[in-house]
Amino acid sequence: MSKAEIGVFGLAVMGSNLALNIADHGYKVALSNRTSSKIDQMMESAGELAGRFIPNTGLGAFVRSIKKPRAIIIMVKAGKPVDLTIQALLEHMEEGDAIIEAGNANYRDSMRRFEELRARGIGFLGVGVSGGEEGARFGPSIMAGGSKDQWHNAEEILTAISAKFNGEPCAAYLGTSGAGHFVKTIHNGIEYADMQMIAEVFGVMRDGLGMTPAECAQVFKKWNEGPLNSYLIEITGLVLEAVDEKTGKPLVELILDKAGQKGTGRWSAIAAQELGVAATTIEGAVAARAISALKEERIAAQSVYGAPGAGEAKMSLGQLEQALLAGKIAAYAQGFAIMKKASEENGWELPLGTIARIWRAGCIIRSGFLDQMAKSYEKDHAVNLLVAPDFVEIMQASSDALRNVVAAGALGAFPLPCLSAALAYFDGYRRAEGTANLIQGQRDFFGAHGFVLTDREGEQHGDWPSTL
C-alpha cells in the first residue's frame, strides 16, 4: 500500500475536518487518535474519501505509514495534551521528520516546543488555524510559524486546503517559532473585541430601542451588505433570527448570558500588556466575558440598584452602524499594533500586510475591509491604522457616531466597555497634548523618577514640598 503524504493525529471535530479537507484535495492521509473509537467513526463517515485514509491505532504503525520526511499534524487540546502527544510520537519519529501543531497553542509553548524538537532533529511548525469547524473542512485561514524549511515541506498541502480570496490562498509563513500561534492569538483577541462590540450594539437595540431579536436580525443582515460586511455580522443576523423549536421563542432569548472563553482572548490581552501596547478593546472584551460569568452576582446587584431604564437610548440605527465601524477599526488598529511590537521584540518580522491578506477569507474575523487594510499595511508597514489614509477617511466619517453612541450609552446605563474603549483609544491617540505631564510630575514627587522638560536637555527633578 502506498504511504500517506501527511499524518493527522487527533480526530475531534477540527482534526477530522482538516483530515477530510486534505483528502478532498487528493492527498493520502494517515490517521490516528488517542481513542480508537474516533478513528472508527471517522472512517465510517468518510464516504468516498475513506480510500484516501490510512487509519492506525498504534502510533508506530501510524508514523511508519507516512512518507519520509514525515509531517504529522497534531490537533489536540492545547496545553499538556499537546506535549504528551509529541512525547509519544517522538518515540517513533526520525530525524528530519516534522510536527505541525495546529491547535490554539500559547505561542510561548510553540517557541519552547520548536527548540526542544530542534535539539532532537525534528522540525516544528506552530500553525494557527482559523475558521471553526466549517473552515477546517472547506478552507481555513492558516498562519504558520517555525522553520522556513518545514514550511516549504508542508506548504503545498497547507496552501491547497486553505481558504481562497479571489483565488489567492489564505495561508502563509509568518516567521520563526511562535509567530504563527502569536498571530492566531491576536486574531482571536480581535475576534473577542469584534464580537463584544456587536453584542454591545445588540444590547442597545434590545434594551434601548426596544427591538425584538427578529428586528435586530434584519438590521444586521442589512449592515452585512454595507461597510460592516463580515462573517461575524452575517452570523449575528442568523443567530438572532433563530427560533427555539420547543417554545417558538427567539433562541437568543433562551441562551444563558454567560460567555465561555478558552483563553486566547486573555492571552492576547496579556501579550499586549507585556509588550506595553494599548489593547483596551481586547481587554474590555475579555473583562466583559468575565462579568458575564457572574450571573448570580449580577442578579443580586440589580436588586440593589434597580433595573436600568429601558427604551430610552437616544441614538439611531445609522449611528450604531457607524459606531460599530469606528470601533472595529480601533480594535484592528490595536491588534496590528500588538503584532508590530511583538515582531520587533521577537525578531519575527511579521508581515502585517500578508497577515491582513490571509485574514480576508476562511477565518472568523474575515471582513470586507481587510482587503483595504492589507493594502494599507503593504504600503506602510509601520502605520497605525488610525492614521492610514483610507482609514482616516472612515474614522472622520464615523467617529462622531461612536462618540454619540458611547455618550448615550453612558447616560442610559448601557455597558459599552469595548465601544467606549475604542473611543478613548481614538481620542487619546489623536490628541497631541496629553496629560502624562501630570503623571510624570506625580511620579517624580513621590519616587524621584525624573521627567523631561520640553525646553531643556536631560532628565530633571522637581523641588517638591514635603507632605509630612
Output the CA torsion 348→353→358→360 (10° steps). 150
- Rule CB under 6 A: is residue 79 a binding residue for ligand 6PG? no
Q: 346 to 375, contacts with ligand 6PG by CB under 6 A?
A: 363-364
Q: Beta strand pairing status for 459-460 and 451-452?
A: antiparallel
Taken in order 58, 60, 63, 65, the sign of the CA dihedral is: negative
Question: Rounded to an integer, what distance in angstroms lies between the CA atom of residue 135 and that of residue 464?
Answer: 61
Question: Rounded to an integer, what distance in angstroms lies between the CA atom of residue 439 and that of residue 447?
Answer: 12
The secondary element (H helix, E strand) that includes residue 6 is: strand 6-9
Q: 286 to 305, contacts with ligand 6PG by CB under 6 A?
A: none
Shortest reach from residue 128's CB to ligand 6PG, in Å: 8
Output the CA torsion 143→340→439→408 (10° steps). -60
Shortest reach from residue 174's CB to ligand 6PG, in Å: 15
Of the ranges 148-156, 215-223, 260-268, 441-449, which one interacts with ligand 6PG (CB under 6 A)? 260-268
Residue nearest to ligand 6PG (CB): 130
Shortest reach from residue 419's CB to ligand 6PG, in Å: 19
The one-letter amino acid code at 175 reads G
- Rule CB under 6 A: is residue 104 a binding residue for ligand 6PG? yes
* Site size toward ligand 6PG, by CB under 6 A: 13
C-beta atoms surrounding 68 within 10 Å: 11
Shortest reach from residue 264's CB to ligand 6PG, in Å: 5
Q: 429 to 468, contacts with ligand 6PG by CB under 6 A?
A: none
265 CB-near residues (< 8 Å, 6+ apart): 188, 189, 191, 192, 282, 285, 286, 289
Nearer to ligand 6PG, 77 or 249 (CB): 77
Question: Rounded to an integer, what distance in angstroms lies between the CA atom of residue 51 and that of residue 28?
Answer: 8
For residue 55, the cross-strand partners are 31
Nearer to ligand 6PG, 104 or 224 (CB): 104
Shortest reach from residue 342's CB to ligand 6PG, in Å: 18
Interface residue with ligand 6PG among 145, 265, 284, 335 (CB under 6 A) is 265
Of the ranges 256-264, 306-314, 420-428, 436-444, which one interacts with ligand 6PG (CB under 6 A)? 256-264
Interface residue with ligand 6PG among 57, 261, 316, 354 (CB under 6 A) is 261
Of the ranges 63-71, 145-153, 259-267, 434-442, which one interacts with ligand 6PG (CB under 6 A)? 259-267
The one-letter amino acid code at 359 reads W
Residues in the chain: 468
Shortest reach from residue 337's CB to ligand 6PG, in Å: 20
Shortest reach from residue 366's CB to ligand 6PG, in Å: 10
Nearer to ligand 6PG, 213 or 362 (CB): 362
Nearer to ligand 6PG, 229 or 261 (CB): 261
Nearer to ligand 6PG, 218 or 261 (CB): 261
Question: Rounded to an integer, what distance in angstroms lies between the CA atom of residue 101 and that of residue 353?
Answer: 24
Shortest reach from residue 269's CB to ligand 6PG, in Å: 12
Among residues 64, 89, 67, the alpha carbon closest in space to that of 76 is found at 89
The one-letter amino acid code at 199 reads A
The secondary element (H helix, E strand) that includes residue 92 is: none
In the numeric block, which cell numbers belong to residue 62?
A: 501510524
E strand spans, 29-163: 29-32, 53-55, 71-74, 98-101, 123-130, 141-146
Is 191 designated active site? Answer: yes
Question: Rounded to an integer, what distance in angstroms lies between the CA atom of residue 176 and that of residue 155?
Answer: 15
Q: 394 to 423, contacts with ligand 6PG by CB under 6 A?
A: none
CA atoms within 13 A on the CB side of 366: 23
Interface residue with ligand 6PG among 264, 367, 399, 420 (CB under 6 A) is 264
User: Catalytic one among 5, 28, 101, 191?
Assistant: 191
The secondary element (H helix, E strand) that includes residue 190 is: helix 179-203
- Rule CB under 6 A: is residue 191 a binding residue for ligand 6PG? yes
Is 184 designated active site? Answer: yes
Q: Mask: binding to ligand 6PG, 109-148, rule CB under 6 A, as x and -? A: ---------------------xxx----------------
Distance separating the N- and C-terminal Cα atoms of the chain: 86
User: Catalytic one among 28, 184, 328, 340?
Assistant: 184
Of the ranges 59-67, 91-99, 255-263, 401-409, which one interacts with ligand 6PG (CB under 6 A)? 255-263
Write the DSSP symbol of residue 156.
H
Q: Is 246 left (phi over 0), alpha (psi -120 to 50) or beta?
A: alpha
Among residues 237, 207, 204, the alpha carbon closest in space to that of 220 is found at 237
Nearer to ligand 6PG, 10 or 208 (CB): 10
Residues annotated catalytic, as ranges: 184, 191
- Using CB under 6 A, list all residues that contact ligand 6PG: 104, 130-132, 188, 191, 260-262, 264-265, 363-364
